[in-house]
């Protein structure tokens, strides 16, 4: 099971949703979140931060190591937390879960007008979308490449 938590960036402009795989990490593992606006003057410390397309997540690595005792033998790093889903975006990027629903709703409208075209579009949608997100530089979209 995954828990969804919303965290507001340091400047207060954006909110990002996070999933916490297997509920191992608490939301307190996130010290701060920086959006592209508020991260512009932040240098990314690889020991406690991860950068994803202009967004920076600053982890409390003491909390991560303490909460990650169940993951014995695994080095707890910012990359591990994010890439393995222990503290990661809900979706491919911070607002992905909202945008993808909106995009699918647009396609569903097409199903009522032209069902055949809808089938073609929905089949391509996921692939085309992930290719676009990979080009945009999102970490999770580039993970399998």
In this predicted structure, what is the pLDDT of residue 74? 87
Tens-digit pLDDT profile for residues 13-66: 999 999 999 999 999 999 999 999 999 999 999 999 999 999 999 999 999 999
Helix (H, G, I), strand (E, B) or coil at 53: coil
Does this model's pTM top 0.85? My answer is yes
Identify the three-state secondary structure at position 84: coil
Distance CA 14, CA 137 (A): 19
Q: Please check whether residue 129 is in contact with residue 44, taking contact to mean a CB–CB distance below 8 angstroms.
A: no
Q: Of the ranges 1-15, 32-46, 126-140, which one carries the lowest mean pLDDT score? A: 1-15
Check pLDDT > 60 for residue 80: yes
């Amino acid at each position: 099971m995954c828990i969804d938590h919303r965290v507001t960036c340091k400047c207060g402009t954006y909110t990002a949703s996070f999933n916490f795989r297997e509920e191992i990490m608490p939301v307190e593992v996130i010290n701060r979140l920086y959006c592209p606006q508020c991260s512009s003057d932040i240098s990314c410390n690889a020991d406690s931060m991860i950068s994803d397309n202009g967004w920076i997540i600053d982890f409390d690595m003491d909390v991560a190591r303490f909460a990650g005792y169940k993951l014995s033998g695994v080095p707890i790093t910012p990359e591990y937390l994010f890439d393995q889903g222990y503290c990661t975006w809900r979706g491919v990027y911070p607002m992905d879960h909202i945008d993808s629903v909106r995009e699918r709703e647009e396609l569903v409208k097409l199903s009522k007008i032209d069902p055949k075209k809808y089938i073609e579009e929905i089949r391509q949608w996921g692939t085309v979308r992930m290719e676009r997100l990979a080009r945009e530089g999102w970490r999770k979209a580039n993970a399998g490449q």
